[in-house]
Structure 1
């Protein structure tokens, strides 16, 4: 059987860095081919070369598609041949309808006039193929992220896709939506479609992939055949990082002190719908040197709790009390929350955590400009020293602190966000999905940073949708459902089963 895709000796260089170095990839017809590697390994860059985002001439090497050498000048040429890429940041226009997004740039028109009846009918057909029954006139902004991902796939089907490329398709999805998407890919496979999937969720890769190509430091190091051999997550990790990892979580001996952060009788309501409570009578304590987790399903209110506490950056009609070291503190604005010693690392580093067009230096000092200023004038030399220090301490991989955040890998972007908030010198650090969309190696480094903060006597409140992460890192875990805490467990006694049981039991009582 001849391959549908061959990429031979692909090399791509950016100023100061070789992103890809002689990478080879072979994808067979009707297979799901996974690409794994650490952040910055070159996975997304390779797919951008394939799809024409980086045009022919900007790289060296050859691409063969359906047995013929191709040289795409832009993404429209690759799409014309049925190669469709769905990026991690979805390319949908929020304030346009599903139908408008579906055919944007590819309108169903007659005599220069859009045929809306035909567009709506075709949209319904395509949505049905991905298991959606939404009204084609529904605005994208009114859909959850899981349904938006399915709309992107339906949009790809409209372009008669033969090779579907998905970059971190489940990074922002809950387990249920992830399962639906993976089953959809398996269904496409039965119909003969080929897929390439990039993901850091190794359990999902192991479930659906026929072959796995591992890229490390810009080079393809091996391809594993899942149909021939039983491929474990540990085997994939060894290929990604070049060594065996004895543990996913760094060792730590907790030294827990007295209460540091206390949240009492906390209530908050939806930022638009004032009658909808998102946090109800929350009581929470974080002690010095303690890592406390908050578990729950999507929509439980975890992020709303964190943001409402951090300067009331989310919600309205907020009430309750926040104490640090037993004394009430004013957290009514972000500035006051920072001054009190609270920092919040958002779950959305690209939209809310970073100024992507600015460099590492500017992003690192942004939340504490007085720390690099004299007489209200920023000291650029001091800025450089601070950013360089955090780059070294957090092992941020870049060619220097002048590199723009947009050009960093996800794991290194997350370290810059951490640097920004660590420079505010907080007593309490709230982490919202701190390792979302980053690889196991970078996760381990961030876990080590979290442990070091606890060792210094800081308090850490950690929100995560990955239960193994909470179980591996936390001294104590609160369970949240529908805006309330419905359980609390010591870390050593908690299991995925006990957490889910607490959630299900609360649903039955409501």
Structure 2
């Protein structure tokens, strides 16, 4: 199936998101669609699949003009969109999610549970993932929920598959499985639109790449004849320089120390220190307990036992409010559920954890201070929006992540925990976040960075703590931080 989108315009109110944007997909190719956050990539694909209507422009599928009125219509035509934000119902089982509105019934109209379970299992087996169709979605990791979304798409006889940041929540092993599935689909003539900010993935997987900038078509390039530097320059209009601008700001003063943290089978006797001005990377396979350890430090999970010290003083942290009062900030992995109030404005989200700093002694908010704080955060992180009064739910995923960063940086933390800080963020915005991290460490802030992106861990960490099955497998010093060493410890080996 061939797809062409020509001269597409789209505005939301006064905000023009797409300006004569174009994209062309050939049959049986893997075509990357790249651009900064807010460049219009997802919007363009939503127009193709009928979720939005364009203001101007034409859409061709196999040389026929089409205008799908609903994603179901596009799906029936063989065009399936796997969205970045999971489209699942947590309280239903895997099988129920996969067959939602597509239930197999007997001739009497009764749902055929056994047949649905069998078909669901066959598709999951094809993906090579260990997921039971009877499992409840809410009991699965984010990565496994993403694999269920992909499995749902494979149930349809798709001719075009659109994947928006499909590996953002996947482990290395799950990513390789997905890549094998994508290559297999390509060999069968399926066309793939692959939206991702992970350059390494684009160059190992894709045939061509189309770049959007500020809602406009910039160029289409053959991957074989391009370099990462070429693509970055086309995306952001300038040279970016070093991808990982790591400064050395580590001091000898300990900011945070944890001793013998335990929680059931999830956290097992974990001890480590992080110094002022240090970036301690935390790596490990998905499900190893990285996030749970951070949540326990921040008071989101109750420990069975263990000790926490801040600047040498023993502290008791039973909830996030106590953690914040002690100077700990936490940028969580799931920005939509735990990081933001999507129906609230950028201003309200940034000011929420900082009300004490912008209110008088009677608790009345000084709106001038609130506006200044929010504008400063928006400017520092270059949040693309119509202004600080825009709802965060209307922002792109990457710009939502910037709002989460802005609100916690504004709280002036002594210790900042980052859980997947650049997930779904474009390469230019990543550089901005890394520069902010350097500024924070220069001011003596201790940073703990949990990340599944090994280049990020290797490029930005002073030391790396590797977690394996709830235990600290080891800590790697700067001079020995390599992918091989990290993966050896992450998979239960020793150095």
Superposed pair shares fold, TM > 0.5: yes
Q: Residue 233 of structure 2 aligns with which residue?
A: 238
Distance 1:155 1:415, change over 3 A: closer
Secondary structure of the 2:401 match is helix
Q: Residue 469 of structure 1 aligns with which residue?
A: 456
Secondary structure of the 2:432 match is helix
Secondary structure of the 1:398 match is coil
Counterpart among 102, 109, 112 of residue 106 in structure 1: 102
Task: Verify the 8 A CA contact 1:430 1:461 in the aligned structure 2.
Answer: yes
Q: Residue 63 of structure 1 aligns with which residue?
A: 59
1:280 aligns with 2:268: yes
State the distance in 1 between where 2:96 and 2:339 align. Answer: 30
1:157 aligns with 2:143: no
State the distance in 2 between where 1:396 and 1:287 align. Answer: 30
Q: Residue 280 of structure 2 aligns with which residue?
A: 292
Secondary structure of the 1:378 match is coil
1:248 aligns with 2:243: yes
Deviation at 1:221, TM superposition (A): 0.8
- What is the correspondence of 1:57-456 to structure 2 with a 5 Å cutoff? 58-109=54-105, 110=107, 112-131=109-128, 135-226=132-223, 229-254=224-249, 256-267=251-262, 269=263, 276-311=264-299, 313-317=300-304, 319-374=305-360, 375-456=362-443
Superimposed CA distance per residue, residues 226-283 of structure 1 (whole angstroms, 9 cap, x where no aligned partner): 3xx343333322222223332102252425241222222222x2xxxxxx33222222
Aligned-residue CA RMSD (Å):
2.1
Q: Residue 15 of structure 1 aligns with which residue?
A: 13
Distance 1:19 1:471, change over 3 A: same
State the distance in 1 between where 2:245 and 2:122 align. Answer: 50
Distance 1:83 1:338, change over 3 A: same
Task: Verify the 8 A CA contact 2:244 2:434 in the aligned structure 1.
Answer: yes
State the distance in 2 between where 1:8 and 1:477 align. Answer: 47
1:46 aligns with 2:44: yes
Secondary structure of the 1:352 match is helix
Distance 1:404 1:294, change over 3 A: same
Task: Verify the 8 A CA contact 1:479 1:488 in the aligned structure 2.
Answer: yes
Counterpart among 34, 37, 51 of residue 36 in structure 1: 34
Deviation at 1:113, TM superposition (A): 3.6
Task: Verify the 8 A CA contact 2:243 2:431 in the aligned structure 1.
Answer: yes
Deviation at 1:144, TM superposition (A): 4.0
Q: Residue 444 of structure 2 aligns with which residue?
A: 457
Secondary structure of the 1:106 match is coil
Give aligned pairs, total: 493
Q: Residue 273 of structure 1 aligns with which residue?
A: none
Deviation at 1:372, TM superposition (A): 2.1
Task: Verify the 8 A CA contact 2:244 2:431 in the aligned structure 1.
Answer: yes
State the distance in 2 between where 1:480 and 1:146 align. Answer: 17
Deviation at 1:489, TM superposition (A): 2.5
State the distance in 2 between where 1:230 and 1:489 align. Answer: 37
Task: Verify the 8 A CA contact 2:462 2:478 in the aligned structure 1.
Answer: yes
State the distance in 1 between where 2:437 and 2:311 align. Answer: 20
Distance 1:291 1:145, change over 3 A: closer
Distance 1:331 1:31, change over 3 A: same
State the distance in 2 between where 1:126 and 1:479 align. Answer: 33
Distance 1:143 1:421, change over 3 A: closer
Distance 1:406 1:117, change over 3 A: same
Deviation at 1:124, TM superposition (A): 4.2
Task: Verify the 8 A CA contact 2:328 2:417 in the aligned structure 1.
Answer: yes
Task: Verify the 8 A CA contact 2:146 2:169 in the aligned structure 1.
Answer: no
Deviation at 1:479, TM superposition (A): 2.0
Secondary structure of the 1:263 match is strand
TM-score w.r.t. the length of structure 1 is 0.91
Secondary structure of the 1:502 match is helix
Distance 1:51 1:315, change over 3 A: farther
Task: Verify the 8 A CA contact 1:257 1:289 in the aligned structure 2.
Answer: no
Deviation at 1:354, TM superposition (A): 0.5
State the distance in 2 between where 1:136 and 1:483 align. Answer: 26
State the distance in 1 between where 2:256 and 2:371 align. Answer: 33
Deviation at 1:448, TM superposition (A): 0.5
Task: Verify the 8 A CA contact 1:304 1:315 in the aligned structure 2.
Answer: no
TM-score w.r.t. the length of structure 2 is 0.94
Secondary structure of the 1:12 match is strand
State the distance in 1 between where 2:308 and 2:116 align. Answer: 53
Task: Verify the 8 A CA contact 2:131 2:144 in the aligned structure 1.
Answer: no
